[in-house]
Structure 1
């Protein structure tokens, strides 16, 4: 097989990520060590040993408080709380690795673009071009009130803000500095040619930025752009801006539908649809034998926290499942548009494959859902991954891990070698920046068909890059 899958470790610099309640497991170290820099250095070395392409840091800017109209369930079970700033551990992780890349989540709703651009340029410099930005618009009401708003900005307007945020970012990264601005002419006493550093004079509906960008151009200039969203606005935004896109769905067919839809939209923007990579989520429980894996599944299921899962679903979807009365449980669980994210709600409604009752939908949250986890020995897990990879058409996966770091260690030691033997996964890293590793257009820079290219002073082709 010529196509090799891309693997990111899906993580958070928090006490818990998505393994609801499994902090109680005796082998779980995350809740004690997530604030320990040595822990993240160990994770970096482990992932590079396993030839992981990147570690992907999710983030939230508030607490989940929709379920039971209370923050207590998420606080009680450490649902993505407490959480530190993932951006700050990256330089230390980069210092002990050569190839592992880093995708970091930053919201366009609450972060001004000017300071944001400098932080990403700094990280791209320090990592020698191994940085990606996961663009999000944020969906938690508590995030809005944390940043001084009375309520969340409406879902679709958040994408309008994001679109302008990206425009400002492109101007700072792509047009503010020309390639040859740093001349370091000691005889003339000129370090930087002022005629090749430009203000951007952006004045828009949401942002006003004079410039110039304070950082000189990094290897990638613009970091690799990740985005997730299956709403109408989300898919349109991804088609215009994103290079790597997360698509969720209960079946390979539904994932494939979203991939083809976004590729078609990207083509309408004048982009080469093959300049997009698609990812879905992957959860596995592997044992040296099938029985060992099955025993682990039962053990993890016994520790599962229904309240934590319901709290996450509530915050992401805007649905408070605690509001349903038992006499309503036989009624269908219907999709309704909220101002939160749309993908979680879609998973249990319009993307579910069959109409679920309220009781069935809630039961999916109350237990570790076997339908969403590949369980088995290394060969069986590799079979399941290969089936998803080939049937859905994704380019790779964000790998969840139930017990940290144990689940990652097992994946690296037991599953990666089988995927390599089958030709599904690389035997070694290629050289270059993250963008060069991911794409075949031969540049560390965004390709000419990307909308950011209109802000460049000199086309890439003219520079022979």
Structure 2
């Protein structure tokens, strides 16, 4: 019997997310992203398909690496305009009971005290269905928008992140006892001051002397996602992440990343099963292979090469306009997404060129789509899960909403027939659905910041 496969919808509060140009397709509705009804309908669809969650990407800068300008990004709606994803979540949670919400928030630009309160608030409002995708950013434009001259060096960003995590763990896990809130109307006693304590943190990057403003939420700490696959990113994931998001077109590379992260996690006392891995994928399913290929050909006519280069240039930190089509591209010194550069070299070879890159971006991104009948794709997902150790897939949208409607109507039943997909949701919080527990285990780094419970009065 195959393992149960998890599915997240991978999206962003914008028009053009991963597969660039498909917003021009006449059936695509992503230009409605400013409408709340677009997102609440989206949430209902995903829950009807028993999706584990929706995973929201986000950036706080613009893609201005290609040609040194944001003009092409604006022309092609390449993740601009982009709105705050956290504001969508309460509305989407109000029309669902089980769907989880993983949201990307860049810790470099988020004051930890206020960010911790926002996550606790979302965890309360969703009934314990919030997750946080921990990122440190990769856009110089975002740094400049925050008043910084440029990106902090890649590994230094992770050093900052380690301290940030320790601080928010203290707020979420150590400031309030579980039984601090009494809500005793007769005595007029809402919270016991003896069960609430201030956090004192004086580190190299952050200083804080304050109690957490939110009472303990259902999960306390949100489900922790992380997407770094570089050497430093893997070490960070092994320490902090519960769910790791990876990309890659070759099974061998994905298997190596998954095995390395889990090995590092077990080396510091965590269990291998405490880390779930989601692989990014773009699916085009059909009732038959021919139907899927026909749909793929139709979608392909709307893909934008220019917009794809805009996205790739920013995520790789390379201005491709400086290179002739067949000139080998030198990627040394980039402080963008190092794992993307490593993956590019693996797939295109060390002497990769702009032409080779464009040849791979058949649907407006470097993520090649998997095309075929529902039965074929079900076997592919099961094969990838068994051969690489991934637990699930973050599915990028193509033409919405039909791309997810097709997955729900065609692929989900095919997976269920093979015993590889749930037929009903489990009860409980997001973490309970994924791991069978509401709170982080004692083996997680956050547990070191839990306060000893106060003794009951004599």
TM-score (norm. length: structure 1): 0.94
Cα deviation for residue 27 of structure 1 reads 0.3
Matching of residues 37-52 of structure 1 within 5 Å: 37-52=36-51
Classify the secondary structure of the residue corresponding to 1:453: helix
1:55 aligns with 2:49: no
Against the structure 1 CA distance between its residues 371 and 387, is the aligned structure 2 distance closer, same or farther, given a 3 Å change threshold? farther
Distance 1:260 1:140 in 2: 29
Q: Is the 8 A contact 1:321 1:362 kept in 2?
A: no
Cα deviation for residue 186 of structure 1 reads 3.1
Q: Is the 8 A contact 2:282 2:367 kept in 1?
A: no
Cα deviation for residue 184 of structure 1 reads 2.3
User: In the alignment, what sits opposite 2:201?
Assistant: 202
1:211 aligns with 2:210: yes
Q: Is the 8 A contact 1:310 1:365 kept in 2?
A: no
Matching of residues 213-292 of structure 1 within 5 Å: 213-292=212-291
1:80 aligns with 2:74: no
Residue by residue, what CA displacement relative to the aligned partner does 1:360-380 show, whole Å, maximum 9, x if unpaired?
A: 533335533798211112212
Against the structure 1 CA distance between its residues 133 and 371, is the aligned structure 2 distance closer, same or farther, given a 3 Å change threshold? closer
1:325 aligns with 2:320: no
Distance 2:7 2:72 in 1: 32
Shifted more, 358-367 versus 120-129: the winner is 358-367
Q: Is the 8 A contact 1:317 1:340 kept in 2?
A: yes
Q: Is the 8 A contact 1:250 1:353 kept in 2?
A: no
Q: Is the 8 A contact 2:2 2:382 kept in 1?
A: no
Residue by residue, what CA displacement relative to the aligned partner does 1:107-163 show, whole Å, maximum 9, x if unpaired?
A: 011001011001110110111110100000010111011111111222111111111
Residue by residue, what CA displacement relative to the aligned partner does 1:161-213 show, whole Å, maximum 9, x if unpaired?
A: 11111111000000000111111233432111101110001111111111100
User: In the alignment, what sits opposite 2:161?
Assistant: 162
User: In the alignment, what sits opposite 1:439?
Assistant: 435
Cα deviation for residue 254 of structure 1 reads 0.7
Cα deviation for residue 81 of structure 1 reads 1.1
1:429 aligns with 2:414: no
Distance 1:161 1:370 in 2: 30
Residue by residue, what CA displacement relative to the aligned partner does 1:236-283 show, whole Å, maximum 9, x if unpaired?
A: 111111100012222111101001111121122222222110111111
Q: Is the 8 A contact 2:318 2:331 kept in 1?
A: no
Distance 1:360 1:259 in 2: 30
1:455 aligns with 2:457: no
Classify the secondary structure of the residue corresponding to 2:301: helix
Classify the secondary structure of the residue corresponding to 2:306: helix
Residue by residue, what CA displacement relative to the aligned partner does 1:288-345 show, whole Å, maximum 9, x if unpaired?
A: 222221111112212111111111111111112221124xx264x5552411111221
Classify the secondary structure of the residue corresponding to 1:210: strand
Against the structure 1 CA distance between its residues 213 and 314, is the aligned structure 2 distance closer, same or farther, given a 3 Å change threshold? same
Classify the secondary structure of the residue corresponding to 1:385: helix
Matching of residues 117-196 of structure 1 within 5 Å: 117-196=116-195
Unaligned runs of 5+ in 2: none
Distance 1:4 1:290 in 2: 24
Classify the secondary structure of the residue corresponding to 1:177: coil
Q: Is the 8 A contact 2:357 2:366 kept in 1?
A: no
Distance 2:54 2:321 in 1: 34
RMSD of the TM alignment (CA)? 1.8
Q: Is the 8 A contact 2:415 2:421 kept in 1?
A: yes
Distance 2:327 2:212 in 1: 58
Distance 1:220 1:385 in 2: 30
Classify the secondary structure of the residue corresponding to 1:44: helix
Q: Is the 8 A contact 1:309 1:365 kept in 2?
A: no
Classify the secondary structure of the residue corresponding to 1:281: strand
Aligned pair count reads: 453
Matching of residues 327-346 of structure 1 within 5 Å: 329=326, 331=328, 333=329, 335-346=331-342
Cα deviation for residue 421 of structure 1 reads 0.7
User: In the alignment, what sits opposite 2:100?
Assistant: 101
Distance 1:185 1:362 in 2: 64
Residue by residue, what CA displacement relative to the aligned partner does 1:351-398 show, whole Å, maximum 9, x if unpaired?
A: 327445315533335533798211112212222222222221100000
Which of 401, 408, 411 is the equivalent residue of 2:407? 411
TM-score (norm. length: structure 2): 0.95
Unaligned runs of 5+ in 1: none
